[in-house]
Structure 1
Amino acid sequence: MTRNTTRPPGRHDQRRPRGPRRPRGPHDWFAERLLAVVSGQRPVHSLLGLTVGPAYDQLVTLATASPAHDPGAGAEPRRERLRPVLRHCGRFHPGPGVIEAFARIATGDRVSAMAFRLEQGPDLRWRCAAVEMAPLP
């Protein structure tokens, strides 16, 4: 029996695969890690060696402002919290060894933004030098 379709066997929906995806860069990786820390999914110290300057202190402040780190959260019945999701991450290269990145974050139907700066050190590793964002809803 000859098939006249390009669908894999057993697949019945009409969706097609998306086109070619852009290669992921260090800004994508950092955006995911930063969101995990700020949303309380990972501890702040997981980014300790990946930050320079005041960025670590900024992360500590952002993470403790998150509802996931609210000490009074256990006093009331636990409600299901919406998990923030990284929707898009973009970048700008102001010079060699520097990436200024931004990310759109969706939490339910609310959208917020995060901005951060990555700097490449002499060892060619990327480190976060600054982070800015409003606390997640």
Structure 2
Amino acid sequence: MAGTARPDAAAKTARTVGAARAAGTAGPAGSTARPPGRRDQRRPGPRAPRPQTSRGPHDWFAERLLAVISGQRPVHSLLGLTVGPAYDQLVGLAPAGPLRSRLRPVLRRCGRFHPGPGVIEAFARIATGDRISAMAFRLEQGPDLRWRCAAVEIRGPLP
């Protein structure tokens, strides 16, 4: 008789579930609180909260500006994201390639300062091999609440 349970196995299962309910260890729908055969009472503890990394618009812009200045992206990729002389500054910086080299530049740290509402003045440290450069830029929030780059400056490599 394939597919039918033996009466003594069903009785044993019923006794096990009944004993678990009596002991208070049965979960929903008659399941036991631990896997069959496990005898210890340990439970996984609460998980530690993940550290929150607050990535703001300055981080996003730092990555995009670095890609343009190092020659990885074209200048016109930031056309709608710049205002005033910032686009002209990028057009002048990109061909000169202050961060162009055989090694790919890496964004090491990006920080910000809020001098007033709707304005972020940010800085970034950029490593190219063992050389460190600095980039400063200003972001302004428009009436449509979108951030746009208003100025860019590069210095480096630093000793």
TM-score interval (norm. to shorter): 0.7 to 0.9
TM-score (norm 1): 0.75
Give the partner amino acid of 2:68. V
Whether contact under 8 Å (2:132, 2:156) holds in the other structure is no
* 1:107 paired to 2:138: no
Q: Which has the higher contact order (CA 8 A, sep 6+)?
A: 1
- The SS at the match of 1:60 is helix
* 1:118 paired to 2:139: yes
Distance, in Å, in 1 between the alignment partners of 2:132 and 2:69 is 15
- The SS at the match of 1:134 is strand
Whether contact under 8 Å (1:66, 1:135) holds in the other structure is no
In the alignment of these two chains, the number of paired residues is 115
Distance change >3 Å, CA 98–CA 41, structure 1 → 2: same
Unaligned runs of 5+ in 2: 1-37, 45-49
Compute the RMSD of aligned alpha carbons: 2.8
Give the partner amino acid of 1:30. F
Structure showing greater radius of gyration is 2
Higher percent of residues as helix:
2
Unaligned runs of 5+ in 1: 7-18, 70-79
Distance, in Å, in 1 between the alignment partners of 2:127 and 2:64 is 15
- Pairing of 1:1-137 with structure 2 (within 5 A): 20-66=51-97, 81-134=102-155
Whether contact under 8 Å (2:99, 2:105) holds in the other structure is no
- The SS at the match of 1:82 is coil
TM-score (norm 2): 0.65
Query: What is the percentage of aligned positions where both structures have the same residue?
Result: 81
Distance, in Å, in 2 between the alignment partners of 1:101 and 1:67 is 19
